[in-house]
Amino acid sequence: MAQQPAETVSKGELRLCARLGLDEAGTQSLLAAMRAGMSSRGAVVLTARAPEGYVPPFACENLGADWLPPRVYVPAVGEKPTSYPDYAEGFYYSLDLSSCWESACLSQVPPPASSLDMCAAPGGKTMLMAARFGGQNHTANEVHPGRRGILRQNLQQCGYPEVEVTGLRPDQWARNGKTFDLLLVDAPCSGQSLLCKGIKNPGCLSSSMVNGNAKRQKGILLSAAQCVTPGGHIVYTTCTYDPEENEKVIAYILKRVPGWYAVEVPELECFRSTLVPFPAYRLLPVHGAGAGGFCCLLRKEN
């Protein structure tokens, strides 16, 4: 019987793996995950509506991970948390485990007097922030009206009516003059990790999409940096792998804007990027905690 021809590796795939500095084994692992589309892992975070001492009614897995945020549970394989009545009651919010991994940066942030989720829809990062610090004096911002409606609906269902929902662009926030102790910037990106979830994402590996998103992300962070009080923090996250949208964006900000530095997150040390001298962290499918993403914690000097 004739052997099946090997699947062709695209220029975009080769370029990404080269930028990540992956060896042959790492390259094959990432490409296999992208093509299989089976790396997604779910999680739930308890909300303000969850009764005291509440435990989800479905079976959960104990990851034994230091980075797992408070009030977060990982459903066992085969469980569907959204099918339980408790989900409709708003006792928990369902999201991707990779998002929970990114929010481990908050472990190094003192409770903020005020906070802003600059790119908030559909609300996962705001839910994780509220699970750790509470929803008081928090603003959830979303520019797109349709997505803003979904954000508002999710916050109401989960018991956070005190969270203000706004729709300003990052540059409008910069001109607004208001500052916050904590900014969450889950930046729009090429979304390469979607491939590992089995979601089609044409063009996500192309140079034009990656470079276009990197330019946009730099603009968002330049605006965000003007909205932070001295001693405050920015948590920068994406759901993509390419260093152009991750490490290089952070390096640009650290060089361009005086008074900022990257903060180490001990719980994420084993995920630390070797591509830059400052602390930044990347999750890949091979790590077993979801489809992957990137995060970096920035602090403004006093």
Is-catalytic flag, 189? no
Q: With the C-alpha atoms ordered 26, 77, 60, 150, is the resulting torsion angle positive or negative? A: positive
Assign 3-class secondary structure to the chain.
Answer: CCCCCCCCCCHHHHHHHHHCCCCHHHHHHHHHHHHHCCCCCEEEEECCCCCCCCCCCCCEECCCCCCCCCCEEEECCCCCHHHCHHHHCCCEEEEEHHHHHHHHHHHHCCCCCCEEECCCCCCHHHHHHHHHHCCCCEEEECCCHHHHHHHHHHHHHCCCCCCEEECCCHHHHHHHCCCEEEEEEECCCCCHHHHHHCCCCCCCCCHHHHHHHHHHHHHHHHHHHCCEEEEEEEEEEECCCCHHHCHHHHHHHHHHCCCEEEECCHHHHHHECCCCCCCCEEECHHHCCCCCEEEEEEEECC
Q: Which one of the listed residues 239, 270, 295, 296 is annotated catalytic? A: 239
Catalytic positions, written as ranges: 239
